Copies of this chain bind each other. A is one copy, B any other.
Amino acid sequence: MLPAMLSRLFAPSAIAVIGASPDAGRIRGRLLQLLRKGGFAGPIYPVNPSYAEIDGLRCYKDVSAIGAPVDLAVVVIPAPHVPDSLLACARAGIPYAVVISSGFAEEGGAAAALQTRLKQIAQETGMRILGPNSEGFYNAVAGVAATFSPAVDAHAGDAPVIAGAGRIGVVAQSGGIGFSFLNRGRVLGLRFSSLITTGNEADLTAADCFWHLVSDDETAALLLFLETVRDAARFAEAARLAAQRGKRVVVVKVGHSEGGSRASASHTAAMTGWECAYRAAFRSLGMIPAQDPDEALAILAALTTSPPARGRRAGIITTSGGAGAWLADTLAAAGFSLPELSPGLQAEIRSYIPSYGSTRNPVDITAQAVHSGGMNRTIGLLTDSAEVDLIAVTFSAANDTRLSVQPEELAPLLARREKPVLFFSYTLPSPLARRGLAEAGAAIHTNLHALSAAAKALGSQVRVRAEPASAVARASESLLEKLRAHPGPWMEFFAKEVLAEWGIPIAPRILVRTKEELARAARRLGFPLAAKVQSPAILHKTDVGGVQLNIRTEAELEAAFAALMDKGRSVAGAALAGVLLEPMAPPGVEMIVGAVRDATFGPVVMLGAGGIAAELLQDTAYRLAPVDESEAMEMIAELANARLLAGYRGAPRADVVALARLTAALSAFAAACRNEVAEVELNPVLVHAEGQGVSVADALIVVDAKV
């Protein structure tokens, strides 16, 4: 339903400009000017009681006077008048409005109430509102420039350089940054479909606009600039739809530095900052995060001009040894290998390059060979060869009278979309070179950092679960009731009971309160044993000396029990529940597996190196819960600790499959109990040798029922 509806907003048949002015020095005047200049073919109705006519267009007293159907009202009047104006629009049957006016929630105080009023109007009238405090939007395909951004003006101005076949859709929560992508992208030769800035999002959110552009056939790839996500469910839906339709999404999320830290009982929550949830969401939803405008646009340039890379073998073509080495370092750091070319291929290249060139990889064809067409020829050879998956060319594109590549020969080569070809100029490209390469279908990169991100994006695969909601195992009502009955942090014994019930592999365990129970328990469990004091008042047992390990005899056990009960009484008093006995877990690689409920995205699952390394060195991986086993395997592969699990320094390979299964099961628990469980953590988890499973040494659940 939504996509069709928003198409009328972003590609309207007729537009009213509420507050239009003939003064191009003011926002409201500039807006009308840009709208007309942008090439919009339908009728434009200026509305302003002060004028009878603006620049040859009849101007209306109010919307009711228009007397013809209008799809979109663009509102640029002082904030206090906006609500009445919107109500008038609704009465006139206008289904959409873009509120450019500022002076709402961004000011706080009484102005915030005005914004609440806008939200109400949307709800009461059914009118959908973009803004307020939006810089508007630009639909380049339909020629609708409903904005005052000068970027659109310049864009319309001179002949565009167009490299990519696909158009890019942009949704930005910042007007300035949103339109800056237009300004920067055109130099790279990028084409845009629509650029939407959402302002304060009183009604329509970035997620709504995101979904609209994913549904838009003119949009091949997307760029999101986010300060927050107000509607995580819609956002995830849109991302899944994008993955389904093969549209890649680059996302910039700002506001990290304001995050602060979570209040937490578990290490997982302490380690899962607010930004980790965004990281988890972007990973789980197959999005590509970017840190810098150049990086974001370089990735989009690569995605819209090149096919994906089938592997991670790069072939470099250069005209300078130093430039080739620099690019080689860059691609190696991005995870690409640089295989030496086969003797046959080298001999072929050698036939047309001078003796001081190099045929290995980087292939240094030298400036001399460039002049005799060597660049195109080498790109052709590497395109045809099965020896590399991605071709990267580094050269100087500064010359403004001569090109290093012949566009007319390069174009059909690139059009085959056999493998990606990235061009990097170590000098600043001349307009001639920009245009020439663009004609051939390529962008020229000028920043190695951005190029590296682009290559990585081409080499990465998107694997997004279509419907994770349906994959959520359901928790029984009795389990949920048990959880709800005990808000707060749970002591290990009860946490393990519930998790074992869920199917998580937990060793047999007995809670002991008396000496008599002790002997019986020891007989049932067998030595060596671990003994741990249990009380809801003691969360960090080790910190209070409440753990004894490797108990080997009955005498040792009795002494340990007595000591732990004493310790427990002195720390927890009447809240002492007893001592938990378990068989000692065999040694293994220490890991931590946990989940924490994020206010925006719901449960987020974390996998990390155990002990202090995870916290200090942040060797952690995050995803939205639940994950399946193969997603959990991907999380494991992301960790530096993966090398340890793979059998580092002669140690046996650890049972990563069991670890993945455990992670998937815990994530399913967190998802199924998302309303009850705020934090859940298995820490440490000992991963034993292949085939020998995992041991959950300690467990914690924090129940915080969302009513």
Chain A contact residues, CB within 8 Å of chain B = 102-103, 106-107, 111, 133, 150-151, 154, 172-178, 180, 183-184, 187, 225, 227, 252, 254-258, 291-295, 319-323, 325-326, 328-333, 338, 355-356, 396, 398-399, 426-428, 446-449, 543, 609, 612-613, 615-619, 640-641, 643-644, 648-650
Contacts and interface: CB of A to CB of B under 8 A. Distances in A.
A468 B537 CA distance: 57
Nearest to A398: B183
A372 to B, nearest CB: 14
Contact of A292 (B356, B449, B649): B449
Contacts of A180: 323, 396, 398, 426-427
Contacts of A111: 355
A618 B227 CA distance: 33
A449 B321 contact: no
A451 to B, nearest CB: 9
Nearest to A395: B176
Contacts of A330: 291-292
Contacts of A447: 292-294, 447, 449
30 contacts: A102-B356, A103-B355, A151-B427, A173-B322, A174-B320, A174-B322, A175-B322, A176-B323, A177-B323, A180-B398, A187-B428, A227-B321, A227-B322, A254-B325, A255-B329, A256-B333, A257-B328, A257-B333, A291-B330, A291-B449, A292-B330, A292-B447, A293-B447, A294-B294, A294-B448, A294-B449, A295-B449, A612-B644, A616-B640, A616-B648
A596 to B, nearest CB: 19
B326 A356 contact: no
Contacts of A291: 330, 448-449
A254 B316 CA distance: 15
Given A150-B399, A227-B322, A292-B448, 17 more contacts: A102-B356, A133-B356, A174-B322, A176-B319, A177-B426, A180-B396, A180-B398, A183-B398, A227-B321, A254-B328, A291-B448, A292-B449, A294-B446, A612-B649, A616-B640, A616-B644, A617-B617
A399 B609 CA distance: 50
Nearest to A400: B154
B449 A174 contact: no
Contacts of A184: 427-428
Contacts of A294: 294, 446-449
A330 B254 CA distance: 9
A462 to B, nearest CB: 25
B332 A257 contact: yes
Contacts of A640: 616-618
A307 to B, nearest CB: 25
A615 B613 CA distance: 12
Given A332-B257, A428-B183, A177 B356 contact: no
A322 B616 contact: no
A111 B357 CA distance: 13
Nearest to A367: B176
Point out which of A293, A328, A398, A447 has the most chain B C-beta atoms below 10 A from its C-beta. Answer: A293
Contacts of A173: 322
B617 A177 contact: no
A329 B256 contact: yes
A173 B252 CA distance: 37
A258 B327 CA distance: 12
A172 B322 contact: yes
B356 A103 contact: yes
B106 A356 contact: yes
A702 B544 CA distance: 44
Contact of A643 (B154, B338, B616, B619): B616
A271 to B, nearest CB: 12
A176 B396 contact: yes
Given A329-B255, A617-B640, A177 B102 contact: no
A36 to B, nearest CB: 21
A653 to B, nearest CB: 15
Nearest to A641: B616
Contacts of A618: 640
